[in-house]
């Protein structure tokens, strides 16, 4: 009795394990919307299109920064071979005085006197008696170690419409990326619907082929009995068997096509290719809804390909403005702070010292062999042609 109970317990455990395994391997019934959702979630091209949209949004934000001022910093260190000497030798400066008229003059006691007691003159000039020494080292600047630090601010004021055109192109590029993403989404939905309804069609064809083979099998059996009784001929039996073989070939083709279609749908939905899923339309007959008629103009207006072509045309129009802006003047406000060592702002010093500056820069092309205009004219000619 105990052995019987143990056997029943083991059998129950095996049944539970088998049910659990079958339940884990079985797939639920998928509708068309479920397949579309899985295909959208697992399509790699659609994910790439999403990243392209994010990149275009980042480029649009980056293009807007061209309106804002830019701040740059620069640091330079140079090791020079020689120092700067303003004097080749020590200088001797005559000692005199400033007269009442503000001119530099010599007093009699500041002039060299000859043996005759009169001031000595050389080339018509009096010779001073005393000199002030200006040593060479005092006029030497040690620039062997040179350091420069600059911080600058640039605010564009007018760039010939270039910045505005860049921002417009960035906005159009964002719309173009979204249009391409919409086109890729429609392609994913289209391929999913084709694979889905292909399976539904093959399932119904399989039912018809199985019914046809079943009918022919019964018919072959009846014809063989008729041949046995002498009612039918051998040719009748062979003719019916040929039809049965043709039906079995059609049945095999449908089975193979159904397997391949299921693998294709699994690939589109991101499922393992050996997974067998049941579709909602396989289990019940569905009526085909009539699609309302619609004009081709409205169909074309909703196509993302047409919108992409229009956006591409607008982008090239903005590029024409960028080419034309090369022939227009540009105006920018600049502000800088420059510091260096050695510095010369208050004598010669080895400390960092600097100054700030503010200015407005204007740049206007005068003659470049017609390069900007020629480019603009060629692009206009290509567009109008």
Mean pLDDT of 367-372: 68
Query: What's the rounded mean pLDDT across residues 20-46?
Result: 76
pLDDT at 1: 46
Between 54 and 96, where is the model more confident? 54
Q: What is the pLDDT of residue 284?
A: 64
Question: Which of 103-112, 253-262, 300-309 has maximum average pLDDT?
Answer: 253-262
Most confident of 104-113, 263-272, 287-296, 298-307: 263-272
Radius of gyration of the chain (CA): 48
Structure tokens at 370: 């017609």
Considering only residues 112 and 66, tell me which one the structure prediction assigns the higher pLDDT: 66
pLDDT tens string 122-157: 777 777 877 778 888 777 888 888 899 999 999 999
pLDDT for residue 321 is more than 70: yes
What's CA 267's distance to the chain center, in Å? 28
pLDDT tens digits, residue range 179-202?
999 999 999 999 999 999 999 999
Parallel, antiparallel, or unpaired for β 353-363 and 330-341? antiparallel
CATH 1.10.3210.10 assigned to domain 32-76+156-286+304-372? The reply is no
What value does the mean pLDDT take over residues 108-121? 75
Task: Provide the percentage of residues in the chain whose pLDDT is more than 70.
Answer: 85
Helix, strand, coil tally for the chain in percent (to 5)? 55, 20, 25
Q: What is the pLDDT of residues 212-228, one digit of tens each?
A: 999 999 998 998 899 88
Beta bridge partners of 341: 147
Residue whose pair of structure tokens reads 């229009």 in the numeric block: 310
- Per-residue pLDDT, averaged over 314-337, amounts to 89
| 105 Cβ contact list (under 8 Å, min separation 6) | 96, 97, 98, 99
Average of pLDDT values for 47-63?
94
Which helix (H) or strand (E) segment holds residue 71: the answer is strand 70-79
- Structure-model confidence comparison of residues 378 and 347, the more confident one: 347
Residue 32, classified by CB atoms within 10 Å of its CB into exposed (0-12), middle (13-18) or buried (19+), is middle
Residue 271 has pLDDT above 80, yes or no: yes
- The per-residue pLDDT for 285 is 60
CA–CA separation, 267 and 42 (whole Å) = 9
Cβ–Cβ < 8 Å for 181, 49: yes
Task: Tell whether the model's pLDDT for residue 16 goes beyond 80.
Answer: no
The listed range with the strongest mean pLDDT (20-24, 32-36, 272-276) is: 32-36
Q: Which residue has the higher pLDDT, 350 or 370?
A: 350
Q: How confident is the model at residue 69 (pLDDT cuts 50, 70, 90)?
A: very high
pLDDT at residue 101 greater than cutoff 70 = yes
Query: CA–CA distance from 95 to each of 9, 104, 153 (Å)?
Result: 128, 10, 50
C-alpha pair distances (Å), 59 with each of 46, 63, 157: 20, 6, 22
pLDDT of 25 higher than 70: no
Instruction: State residue 70 phi and psi, 5-degree precision.
Output: -110, 140
> Does position 18 have pLDDT exceeding 50, yes or no?
no
| Nearest-angstrom CA–CA distance, 39 and 270 | 7
Residue 291 has pLDDT above 70, yes or no: no
- Put simply, whether the predicted model's pTM sits higher than 0.75 gets the answer no
Please state which of the ranges 9-18, 35-44, 128-137, 230-239 shows the lowest mean pLDDT. Answer: 9-18
pLDDT at 26 over 50: no
Domain boundaries defined on the chain: 32-76+156-286+304-372, 92-133
């Amino acid at each position: 009795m105990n052995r019987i109970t143990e056997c029943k317990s083991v059998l129950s455990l095996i049944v539970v394990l088998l049910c659990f395994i079958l339940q884990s391997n079985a797939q639920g019934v998928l509708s068309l919307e479920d397949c579309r959702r899985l295909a959208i979630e697992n399509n790699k091209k659609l994910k790439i299109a999403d990243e392209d949209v994010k990149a275009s949004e980042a480029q649009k934000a980056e293009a807007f920064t061209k309106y804002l001022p830019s701040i740059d910093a620069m640091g330079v260190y140079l090791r020079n071979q020689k120092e700067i000497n303003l004097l080749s030798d020590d200088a001797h400066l005559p000692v005199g005085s400033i007269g009442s008229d503000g001119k530099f003059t010599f007093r009699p006691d500041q002039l060299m006197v000859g043996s005759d007691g009169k001031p000595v003159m050389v080339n018509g000039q009096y010779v001073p008696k005393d000199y002030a020494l200006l040593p060479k080292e005092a006029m030497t600047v040690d620039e062997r170690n040179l350091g420069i630090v600059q911080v600058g601010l640039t605010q564009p004021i007018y760039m010939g419409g270039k910045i505005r055109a860049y921002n417009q192109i960035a906005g159009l590029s964002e719309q173009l990326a979204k249009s391409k993403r919409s086109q890729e989404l429609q392609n994913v939905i289209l391929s999913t619907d084709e694979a889905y309804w292909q399976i539904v069609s093959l399932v119904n064809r399989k039912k018809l082929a199985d019914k046809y083979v079943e009918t022919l099998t019964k018919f072959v059996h009846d014809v063989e009995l008729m041949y046995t009784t002498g009612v039918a001929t051998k040719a009748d039996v062979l003719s019916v068997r040929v039809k049965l073989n043709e039906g079995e070939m059609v049945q095999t083709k449908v089975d193979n096509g159904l397997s391949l279609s299921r693998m294709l749908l699994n690939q589109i939905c991101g499922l393992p290719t050996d997974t067998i899923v049941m579709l909602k339309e396989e289990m019940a007959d569905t009526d085909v809804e009539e699609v309302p008629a619609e004009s081709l103009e409205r169909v074309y207006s909703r196509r993302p390909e047409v919108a992409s072509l229009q956006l591409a045309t607008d982008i090239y129009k903005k590029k024409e403005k960028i080419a034309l802006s090369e022939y227009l003047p540009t105006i920018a406000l600049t502000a800088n702070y420059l510091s260096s060592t050695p510095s010369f702002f208050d004598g010669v010093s080895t400390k960092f010292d600097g100054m700030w500056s503010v200015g407005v820069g204007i740049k206007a092309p005068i003659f470049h062999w017609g390069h900007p205009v020629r480019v603009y004219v060629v692009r206009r000619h290509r567009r109008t042609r």
